[in-house]
Amino acid sequence: MAADAPSAPAAPVPVRDRHDALVLIVTWIVLSIIACLLVALVWGPHLPPGRASTSAADQQDAYIVLGTMATPVVVGVLLYFAYAAIFWRKPKDDDTDAAPLHGNTKVSATWIIGTAAVVLSLAVYGTVELISPAGAGAGEGPQPIWKPAGTTTSSLTSWTPGTSNILQVQVIGQQWAWTFRYPQFGGFESTQLVLPVNEPVQFNVTSLDVIHSFWAYQLGVKADANPGLNNVAYTTPQSIGSFEVRCAELCGIWHGSMFTTGQVMSDADFMAWTKTTATQLAAVTKLLPPYATTYDPTVVATMGKVNQQLGLTGGGGGYYSPGDPVQP
């Protein structure tokens, strides 16, 4: 397209340019509608992290909205590039320069207003999507502002399915393993992360040594695990099955092996699991520090004495070693 130089005397727009603009705009609209439908309806349901929890579903919805809004921009750029390469190509023997461009007020204004509207509306949408799903599965620090609707923390020592009292699960990171403590079931600490389906859960994430990051991928939960700090994140698992737990913060030489698999099960199976596990770990639970939102890492040094009492071999970095006969 030739430029409309604002200072130049009004010259009629060449017929060829008008034709190009019309073809480009109509083609852009048609291709954009097709591509947006494909992105939203065909690709969208396959976008990560899936819909295994409320926070995961919210994140997938956000990706679908962002992807769909970006699609007309991508289509426009690629279409213009292809159209220019095909129809505005110069003959091989034409070595002359193209006509100089001196700006185009209409194009500039349209671009600035259009991109500003897209970016600002997405900023508003992103903020709402962070606030309304109770922090969107991210850590909110020790005093969360956004909590799941209809939940309270009425008891830290008991939990019953289907009540407003929210399930508490403490996530403890240490080099290089995750453990999970259940204060409402006697405070046992397990290497297994087990959750009931369709029950809101509050993760209280902390660390015993360096900064880790608790990332329950399919649940759409990611929260930094900082020593001496309780970082709270919420979600509600929506489907029974397994999910991956990884560390998303480079935390030392075995960072890459700091992963486990979590399980979402029915209320009845979850209650049975807590009962069995509490019984199995009763001897170890008695020796654990009392449940707290953070733990003093210097206490870890005294755990070797506990291990001696139990006849265990470990105690180097935490409460147990992989070779120990009894594991939390």
Q: Which is closer to Cu ion, CB of 196 or CB of 222?
A: 222
CA distance 202 to 137: 10
Q: Which is closer to Cu ion, CB of 114 or CB of 252?
A: 252
DSSP characters for 251-284? -STTGGG-EEEEEEE-HHHHHHHHHHHHHHTHHH
Q: Name the one residue in this structure whose structure tokens are 């340019």.
A: 17
**Smallest separation, CB 136 to Cu ion (Å):** 22
Angle at 142 between CA 138 and CA 143, to 5 degrees: 95
**Smallest separation, CB 81 to Cu ion (Å):** 44
Q: Which of the ranges 37-45, 60-68, 88-96, 239-247 carries the binding residues for Cu ion, by CB under 5 A? A: 239-247
CA distance 181 to 231: 14
Of 170, 167, 166, 195, the closest CA to residue 180 belongs to 170
Q: Which is closer to Cu ion, CB of 199 or CB of 249?
A: 249
Please give the distance of CA 230 from its chain centroid, rounded to a whole number: 19
Per-residue mark of binding to Cu ion, 165-204 (x: CB under 5 A) = ----------------------------------------
**Smallest separation, CB 256 to Cu ion (Å):** 9
**Smallest separation, CB 101 to Cu ion (Å):** 54
Q: Give the full edge-to-edge strand order of the sheet including 177-182.
A: 188-190, 177-182, 167-174, 201-207, 231-235
Q: Which is closer to Cu ion, CB of 289 or CB of 317?
A: 317
Question: Which of 167, 258, 265, 281 forms a contact with Cu ion (CB under 5 A)?
Answer: 258
Residues 185 and 274: beta-carbon distance below 8 Å: yes
Pair of tokens at residue 214: 């608790």
Q: Which is closer to Cu ion, CB of 1 or CB of 172?
A: 172
Residue type, 280: Q
- Strand locations in the chain, DSSP E? 167-174, 177-182, 188-190, 194-196, 201-207, 212-216, 221-225, 231-235, 241-247, 259-265
Question: Which of 56, 75, 251, 284 forms a contact with Cu ion (CB under 5 A)?
Answer: 251
Pair of tokens at residue 103: 């700006």
Q: Which is closer to Cu ion, CB of 1 or CB of 251?
A: 251
56: Cα within 13 Å, side-chain hemisphere: 21
Q: Which of the ranges 9-17, 252-260, 289-297, 309-317 carries the binding residues for Cu ion, by CB under 5 A? A: 252-260
**Smallest separation, CB 131 to Cu ion (Å):** 28
**Smallest separation, CB 98 to Cu ion (Å):** 56
Q: Which is closer to Cu ion, CB of 247 or CB of 281?
A: 247
Q: Which is closer to Cu ion, CB of 88 or CB of 254?
A: 254
CA distance 261 to 246: 9
Question: Which of 219, 247, 281, 312 forms a contact with Cu ion (CB under 5 A)?
Answer: 247
**Smallest separation, CB 245 to Cu ion (Å):** 11
Question: Which of 212, 232, 274, 277 forms a contact with Cu ion (CB under 5 A)?
Answer: 212
Q: Which of the ranges 20-28, 103-111, 188-196, 243-251 carries the binding residues for Cu ion, by CB under 5 A? A: 243-251
Per-residue mark of binding to Cu ion, 113-142 (x: CB under 5 A) = ------------------------------
CA distance 229 to 206: 6
Applying CB under 5 A, the residues found at the interface with Cu ion are 212, 247, 251, 258
